[in-house]
Amino acid sequence: MIPYGRQFVDDDDIEAVIGVLKGDWLTQGPSVEAFEQAVADLVDARHAVAFSNGTAALHGAAAAAGLGAGDRVATTPLTFVASANCARYVGADVELVDIDPTTLNIDLDKVPATIDGLVAVHYAGLPVDLRQLAVRPRVIIEDASHALGATTPDGPVGNCAHSDLTTFSFHPVKPITTGEGGLVTTNDDELARNLRRFRTHGIERRTDPPWAYDVVDLGFNYRLSDIQAALGSSQLLKLDRFRSRREELSGRYDERLAALPIELAPAPPSGFVHGRHIYPVRVEARRALFDHLIEAGVRPQVHYVPVHHHTTFDHLVGSWPEADRAYDRLLSLPLHPTLTDGEQDTVIHALEEFFS
């Protein structure tokens, strides 16, 4: 079965992990610090704070920024629920803002001027153009789980040129993997301190006596291990190669599927570089095509069941017609660095066969 996404792990990655296993640190230690610095350098951010997963990173970002009860936080309905849940975790209210059908990203023209926070999701790796936001809310968090390696005219996604914090995920199907893992970047010293305290039980160290510490906030154990960080640092060295291959495969889809009744994945505007995490197309008869691909040995996916379709969000009031219209037709085709040309040809042939 050809999967929609898959990690790439080579001998260099394995050796990096073995090196940690043979060393003195397994939990949070020097490998975590090295990984954080490598990501900060890559995205040109002042601080990078690693977390146990992408959801924890979002939770930490919302908490560190001081979002809480009485605050209104907007995000897109076309995302995984963590992008909305991070506001709920800190007691804030979620408001969904419909998508722009051209980009599949949140429609910034529809973002209320009165919200307190915005979680801007870079869907599929295509950066949201935050320069177009008419009124800046108090807190802007970029959910860049799909977008490590993407760039805007203002530089790499993660440099927080138009945001307070940017979060990343290192799940196996993401641009790089640490197995599970996440990270937050920021240029604000206080936010960085809040993030580090939040991920470690709310602890602040004391210098006298040398064993002393104080728990000053309600925090969590959201730490990344040195084992995971070693894998992440090794993977970062391959990020350019991974993104280049994803771009090449996306270009082949664009060319080979152009004649079929398929709405292809959105292209980046001038001055932007797409992260190419997934290749989402829009088709009619989505379920029939999904079943046909499975029979052909291809495992597609749908990204995502919109937030407001889930029972836990039954309390939300409103309508999001563009998100619903997109969801009814969305299908993510296989796209990952280990996908061969031959495997992609199998996917394309199955699509051609279906539409013939």
Residue 220 has pLDDT above 90, yes or no: yes
- Please report the pLDDT score of residue 206 as a whole number: 84
In CATH, the architecture of 2-236 is: 3-Layer(aba) Sandwich (3.40)
The SS3 call for residue 13 is helix
Residue 28 has pLDDT above 90, yes or no: no
Distant-in-sequence, close-in-space partners of 145: CB < 8 Å, separation ≥ 6: 54, 80, 121, 122, 167, 168, 169, 171, 174, 182, 277
Quickly tell me which residue has 């560190």 as its tokens.
64
The confidence score (pLDDT) of residue 32 equals: 98
313 to 69, 85, 163, 308: CA distances (angstroms) = 17, 10, 26, 6
State the Cα angle at 219 between 214 and 225, rounded to 5°.
Answer: 100
Q: Which pLDDT belongs to residue 64? A: 98
For residue 111, which phi and psi values (nearest 5 degrees)?
-75, 125
Q: Give the residue among 10, 7, 5 at the shortest CA–CA distance from 234.
A: 10
What pLDDT does 251 receive? Answer: 98
pTM comes to 0.97
Confidence of residue 244 (pLDDT cuts 50, 70, 90): very high
- The 10s digit of each residue's pLDDT in 286-331 is 999 999 999 999 999 999 999 999 999 999 999 999 999 999 999 9
Give me the sign of the Cα torsion angle 11, 15, 21, 27. negative
Q: Is the pLDDT of residue 263 over 90?
A: yes
Q: What CATH superfamily classification does 239-355 receive?
A: Aspartate Aminotransferase, domain 1 (3.90.1150.10)
Q: Are strands 182-186 and 47-51 parallel, antiparallel or unpaired?
A: antiparallel
- Residue-level pLDDT at 101: 98
pLDDT score recorded for residue 211 = 84
Tell me what pLDDT residue 46 has: 98
For 91-132, write each residue's pLDDT tens digit: 999 999 999 999 999 999 999 999 999 999 999 999 999 999
Looking at residue 146, its pLDDT comes to: 98
Q: At residue 134, does pLDDT exceed 90?
A: yes
- Res 205: pLDDT: 86
pLDDT (mean) for 205-229: 90
Distance CA 224, CA 25 (A): 12
Residue-wise pLDDT tens digits, 49-84: 999 999 999 999 999 999 999 999 999 999 999 999
Instruction: Please state the separation of Cα 12 from the chain's center in Å.
Output: 25
Question: 137-175 pLDDT, tens per residue?
Answer: 999 999 999 999 999 999 999 999 999 999 999 999 999
Computed over every residue of the chain, the mean pLDDT equals: 97
The domain limits of the chain are 2-236, 239-355
Q: Look at residue 132 in the predicted model and tell me its pLDDT.
A: 96
For the beta carbon of residue 335, count every other beta carbon within 10 angstroms. 25
